[in-house]
Structure 1
Amino acid sequence: MRLRTFILLILVLILVAAVALLLLGNSGIGPLSGFLGGGDSDTPADNGTTDNGDNGAEEPLQPPPTATPGLENVVVARVNIPVGTMITDELLEVQRWPRTNIALQGGYTFTDTNQLIGRITKVDVARGQSFLSPMLALNPTDIASFGSDLALYVPFGEVAVAFPVDRFNGAALAMRPGDLVDLMMTMRVVDIDPQFGTILPNNVARIINSALLNGQPFLFPEVKDGRLEFIPEINQVAAIYPSDIGQDGQDFTPGLPIPKRVTQLTIQQAEVLYVGTWEDPRILEQEQIAARAAAQPGEDGNVPPTPTPIPSRLEDQPDVVILSMSSQDALALNWAMIRGVDINLALRSPGDQTVFVTTSVSLPQIIDQGGLAIPEQSNFDLHPSMEDVNLPVLESENPNNPDE
C-alpha cells in the first residue's frame, strides 16, 4: 500500500513538471521555447530599431512630432515713439507672434493698425515693442483721464517746478531734457529791528526838552535815517544824514542800507524735464484737423496724410524751464522766487551724481580765502565807468586850432 502511494505521488510530480515546461515554452522562456515557437531565431530581437525593407537596413525610432503653436498678428512700433505722440500709420507695423505670448493670452495686444491710429501714447514705446491697451489714450481729450504727459516724466517721489530762465541765469540756454542742473542762490541780508521787523536804521524824531516840560510842541522837524554827532571842530552837535551817492550797475538804492550778499549752492541734481512751455496735445489735434482740411488732393484724388508733429520739449528761445526735484527742494525754490532771490543754474556733466559740499560765499569769505588785501585809504580812486564821468572841457587858447 505504501509503495503504490509513493508511485502515484511520483507520477503526479512528473505530470506537474511537464505542464510547467509546456507553459514556459509557450512564453518563450526555458529549454522548450525553441521547440514550441516561443523563441524563433529567424525573428530579429527588438533593439529599438525598425527595418525599412531596403537591404535589411535599420533606422532608429523617431519621437512623435511636437505640435507647432499658432501665430497671430500683433501691431508693434516701427520706430521709437515718445510719450504723448498721436499715432499715425507710418509709426506702426504688423508682426506674427506665437499665441503662447502672455500679452496675446491676456488680450492686451492689437491685431490691426486701424485700431491705433489717432490714439495717443501714455508712455514711451520702443521700436519693435507691442502696443498694449493700458499704454494708450482714446483721444487727446482722454489725456485728462491719466493726467498730462509731463507727469509721466516726473520720477516717483519728486515734483515738477517751472523756473524762469534767460541766457544769463540759464546756462546760456544750453540745457536739454534729461540734463541735471544745480541751483545757486544769492541772498541779500540786511539788519532789521527785532521789534518792528523793519530795516535799520530806524527813523529818528528829536525833541525839545524845555518845550516838552512846558507842554508846548516839542518835536523837531521830521528827520529820516539821521543821527546826531558832536563835531569837535565847531564845538556843536550836528545832524548826520546818509549819503545818496550811487554807482551804475549796483542793485541797491542810494540812501538806503547796502545789503550784505551771500551765495550758496542750495539745490543739486535737479533734472530738466522741459525746456520751454509744455504743448497741449489737444491743440496739436486741432492743428492736425486744420492741416488736413487745408491739404490739396493728390493726383489720385486722395489727400496726403499730414504727419503728426511730436512735441520736441525744446524751444529755440525758451523763457522757462521745468525741473524735477524733491518736495523739500521745491519749497526752497518757491520761497526764493517769491522773495526775489537771485538764482542761477549750473549745468552738470552727463551722469554726474556727485553731491557737492560747499561753503557759502560772501565778500569777507572771498577776501579771506583769496588773500585779497583791501587797499589803504587814499585821496583818489578810479570810477568803475569812466564814460559816465563828466570831465571838464578845457577851452583852447587858439580858436582856429583846437589841438593847441
Structure 2
Amino acid sequence: MRRGRVFIYLALIIILGLVALVVVWQRFLTPKTEGGPTAEQPTPVVTTVNVIILTQRVPRGTALTADVMGMIPIQQELYIQGMFTNLSDAEGKLAKFDLDAGIPLTSSMVVDSAEQLSTTGSTAALAIPRGMVAVSIPINRLTSVSYAPRPGDHVNVIVSMTFVDLDPDFQTILPNRNIGVIVPGSGTGTISGTAGGAGAETPGAGGASAEFQTSSIVAVSGGGGGVVGRVVTDPILAQTFYHVPSEPKQRPRLVSQNILQDAVVLQVGNFPTQEEEKQAAQQPEATPQPGAAEQAAPTPPPAPDLITLIVTPQDAITLNYLIYSGAQLTLALRAAGDDTRVNTESVTLQYLLEQYNVSVPAKLPTGIDPPRSLPAINFGLYETAPTPVP
C-alpha cells in the first residue's frame, strides 16, 4: 500500500515538471513575431522613365529618324542627364560619330547641323590613345606585305638606307676632283676650260695655245679636272703610280634595321573626305530587283599607296626624317596578340657573310662558260596592283 503511494507521488512530480517546462518554453524561449505569423510585407514601388535607344547602327553624319530609334523603360535611379525621353526631340539630329545599335541616345552623341559636325573632329582621332600620334608612310605591294595589313593590326617597321663617304668640309661625295692652277706671272701654254680670278687674262681659253699673263693665282675649271686618287708604289718594280677610281661614283653601303616594333595600323589608304562621307551617308543602298539584267562589275579602287600608323611622338619624328632622307621603309606583319619585342642587329654585307657562313668565291684560274649571272629584281613591278581577274 505504501509502495503504491510512492509511485503516485512520483508520477505527479513528473507531470508537474513537464507542465512547468512547457510553460517556460512558451513564455521565455519561443521567439515572438510581431504582427502575427501571416503578416504580409509591402511591395516596393519602382519608378521608371522611358528613354530612347538606337535599334540599328547609325553612321557618322546620318540624320536620326523614328525608324532607327526605340523606347525602353529604365529605373529612375539609372537616368542620366542628357538622355532623350521624347522621339520628337531627337528626330532630325545628326550622329556626331558612328553609333552602335542598342545604346541609349544622349545629347553628346548628336549635333543639330552639318556645320557643327565639321567642328567636332574626325573619327580617326577617337581611335588614337592618349599620348600617341598618327603618321602616314608610303607603301607599295612589296613593302606592305602584299597589302595584307588592316586597321587594328600590329606591324614592325624596317628601314633600309645607304651610306657614302663625304668630304667633311665640302659635304660632297668622295672622291673629290682636281683642277688646274695658273701661278702668277706670264708665259705661253695651253689653257683648257675657263680661267677665273683677279687680273687674269686668258685669250687662249678653250684649248688654244696662247700667251697669258696673271697677277694672282687663277683656277681653271671645267676643262677635264681629274678625280683625286692616291699614290701607290709598286714594291717589285719600285715604280710610283697614281691610282684613280675605276667608277665615276662611290658604291653606297647598304644597311637594314628594325626601327619600330608593335606599331598599330590606323588606316590603309586615304581617309574619306567630308564630302565623300556625306555622299556615302546620303546614297541609298541598291536593292537588286528580280529579273533585272546583271549590272557590270564596278571598277576596283586603286591600290593604296599610304598606310597610317599609331606611334609615339618621337617615333613619328623619326619616320618623318627617314621619309625625307630617301630611306626605304618596309612593314612586317605581326601575329595576332603578339606584343613581344626582340632586340635585332643591323644587317650589312659583313653580317650576312659572318652570320650565315657565306663564303666569298675565290679567284680561280678556271670559270664556267658561258658566264651566268643572277637575274636583277625589277622593283617597279611591285609599285602597282595586278589587274583583278573577272
- Normalised-by-shorter TM-score class: 0.5 to 0.7
Q: How far 1:178 moved relative to its partner?
A: 0.4
Alignment equivalent of 1:384, drawn from 349, 373, 376: 373
Amino acid at match of 1:243: S
C-alpha distance after superposition, 1:1-43 (max 9, x if no partner): xxxxxxxxxxxxxxxxxxxxxxxxxxxxxxxxxxxxxxxxxxx
Of structures 1 and 2, the one with the larger relative CO (CA 8 A, separation 6+) is: 2
Given the alignment of the two structures, is residue 69 of structure 1 paired with residue 47 of structure 2, yes or no?
Answer: yes
Instruction: Tell me the equivalent position of 2:338.
Output: 352
Q: Answer whether contact 2:230 2:244 (CA < 8 A) is retained.
A: no
User: Aligned ranges for residues 181-330 of structure 1 at < 5 Å?
Assistant: 181-205=155-179, 212=183, 221-227=223-229, 229=231, 240-244=243-247, 255-286=248-279, 291=283, 317-330=303-316
Q: Compared with structure 1, are the counterparts of its residues 231 and 94 closer, same or farther at alpha carbon in structure 2 (3 Å cutoff)?
A: same
Question: Which residues of structure 2 form unaligned runs of 5+?
Answer: 1-31, 192-217, 287-299, 377-390
Q: Is the 8 A contact 1:93 1:113 kept in 2?
A: no
Counterpart position of 1:30: none
Q: Does 1:95 align with 2:88?
A: no
**Residue pair 2:93, 2:111 contacting (<8 A) in 1 also:** no
- Measured in 1, the distance between the counterparts of 2:56 and 2:173 equals 62
Alignment length (residue pairs): 299
What is the DSSP-based 3-state SS (H/G/I as helix, E as strand, rest coil) of the residue aligned with 1:268? strand
With normalisation by structure 2, the TM-score equals 0.65
Higher Rg: 1
Matching residue's letter, 2:150: R
| CA distance in 1 between partners of 2:91 and 2:302 (Å) | 32
Q: 2:351 — aligned with what?
A: 365
Question: Structure 2 vs 1, CA of residues 140 and 367 (structure 1 numbering), >3 Å: closer, same or farther?
Answer: farther
Instruction: Tell me, in whole angstroms, the C-alpha distance in 2 between the residues paired with 1:194 and 1:212.
Output: 27
Q: Residue 89 of structure 1 contacts residue 113 of structure 1 at CA under 8 Å; is this kept in 2?
A: no
The alpha-carbon deviation at position 200 of structure 1 amounts to 1.3
TM-align CA RMSD: 3.7
**What is the CA distance between 1:338 and its match in structure 2?**
0.3
> Does the CA contact (< 8 Å) of 2:61 and 2:117 recur in 1?
no
**Aligned residues of 2:136 and 2:306 also touching (Cα < 8 A):** yes
Identical positions, percent? 25
Contact 1:228-1:237 at 8 Å conserved across structures: no
Displacement of 1:160 in angstroms is: 0.9
Aligned-partner Cα distance in 2 for 1:328–1:201? 36
TM-score scaled to structure 1, two decimals?
0.63
CA contact (8 A) 1:271 1:325 kept: yes
**Alpha-carbon shift at residue 321 of structure 1 (Å):** 1.3
Residue of structure 1 in register with 2:35 after alignment: 48
- Please list the CA deviations of residues 304-341 of structure 1 after superposition, one character each: whole Å capped at 9, or x if unmatched: xxxxxxxxxx9772121111110000000000000110
Q: Which amino acid aligns with 2:82?
A: G
Query: Following the alignment from structure 1 to structure 2, what is the Cα–Cα distance between the partners of residues 229 and 47?
Result: 119
The structure whose residues are more often strand, as a share, is: 2
Q: Give the Cα separation in 1 of the matches to 2:77 and 2:186.
A: 101
Matches within 5 A, 1:137-216: 137-205=111-179, 212=183
Shift of 1:188: 0.7
SS at match of 2:341: coil
1:78 to partner: Cα distance:
2.6
- For residue 109 of structure 2, the aligned residue among 129, 135, 157 is 135
Contact 2:175 2:229 in 1 (8 A): no
Q: Give the CA deviation at 1:117.
A: 4.5
CA contact (8 A) 1:179 1:350 kept: yes
Q: Deviations over 1:126-176 (max 9, x none)?
A: 432112211233344323322122111111111111122111111110111
Alignment of 1:332-347 (within 5 A): 332-347=318-333
Return closer, same or farther for 1:154/1:224 CA change in 2, 3 Å cut-off: farther
Cα 1:107/1:224, change in 2 over 3 Å: same
Give yes or no for contact 2:94–2:110 (8 Å, CA) kept in 1.
Answer: yes
